[in-house]
Amino acid sequence: MEPGGLEWLLVPMQQLVSWGAAGAMVFGGVVPYIPQYRDIRRTQNAEGFSTYVCLVLLVANILRILFWFGRHFESPLLWQSIIMIITMLLMLKLCTEVRVSNELNIKRRSFAAADSKDEEIKAPPKRSYLDFDLNYFWHWSKFTDYVQCVLTFTGVTGYITYLWLDSSLFVETLGFLAVFTEAMLGVPQLYRNYQNRSTEGMSIKMVLMWTSGDTFKTVYFILNQAPFQFSICGLLQVFVDIAILLQVYLYSYYPQKPVSHTAHPASTKAL
């Protein structure tokens, strides 16, 4: 058979592999959150999932999209960021609804100033309505408050990026911040587990998918001689994933404290 005889088969196969890789890149990042989303929806308990994971991914992917305006990278990576932002907003919506339904404290917290007189009657304010206190940040009672915060962050960083878009130093720094922020993805969950002395309510499947995905991504960076900061941040992600898996082992076989199984988990423990 002539060398060119198989070209009619190889070319479409290569195209399919390319499309498959692009699809995996776009949607692969959201797969780990599907079992976690289903677990929260089924149990109506968001206690084991740190919503700060959503914050980290929202910031990282917003910065990555802004970085694209300074240096156009591959389209699948751009779409990956867009899909991830949508996914994290859906996770936040579910977690907020579940937490508020189980909330024992009638005080409602908001990102912006509250103007509901009914809330004032129920719980007279002891401080300003603006909940920028670190103890209450990212622990609001309505999903719309999270949306307002995300839009505010996007608007401020977008305006700064517009002003400094001609600076290569700023663009490269922006790209590094996006990668480094994503490398901190597992840290909120790591701290949540340490705070609770338990991994109950956390999806083990999600962490295993994190670990396999981050390991594959890091190996890819190293083999393809990606920029140094990409490899370092990838290794950092893998180490954090392994630390969470160690927590699963330690808290399962050597429990640090009795785990509460009450119908209304204490929302004050949530980050």
Task: Quote the pLDDT of residue 224.
Answer: 65
Q: Is residue 2 part of a domain?
A: no
Q: Is residue 69 part of a domain?
A: yes
* pTM flag (> 0.95): no
Q: Is residue 75 part of a domain?
A: yes
Q: Is residue 10 part of a domain?
A: no
Q: Is residue 130 part of a domain?
A: no
- List the structure tokens of 178: 């996006």
- List the structure tokens of 3: 């060398």
Q: How many residues does the chain have?
A: 271
How confident is the model over 93-131, as pLDDT tens digits?
999 999 888 876 556 666 665 444 444 444 444 444 444
Q: How far apart are CA 234 and CA 244, in angstroms?
A: 16
* C-alpha pair distances (Å), 184 with each of 79, 214, 219: 21, 12, 18
Task: Quote the pLDDT of residue 253.
Answer: 78
Q: How far apart are CA 37 and CA 90, in angstroms?
A: 9
SS3 268: helix
Q: Which domain covers residue 153, as residue numbers?
A: 15-105+138-253
Task: Quote the pLDDT of residue 226.
Answer: 63
Residues of the chain with pLDDT under 70: 1-9, 11, 17-18, 21-22, 24-25, 104-135, 220-221, 224-229, 256-271
- List the structure tokens of 195: 């705070």
Tally of structural domains, the chain: 1
Q: Is residue 116 part of a domain?
A: no
Question: Is the distance from CB of 143 to CB of 97 less than 8 angstroms?
Answer: yes
Place of tokens 């694209």: 68
Q: Is residue 146 part of a domain?
A: yes
Question: Is the distance from CB of 264 to CB of 104 less than 8 angstroms?
Answer: yes
Q: Is residue 122 part of a domain?
A: no
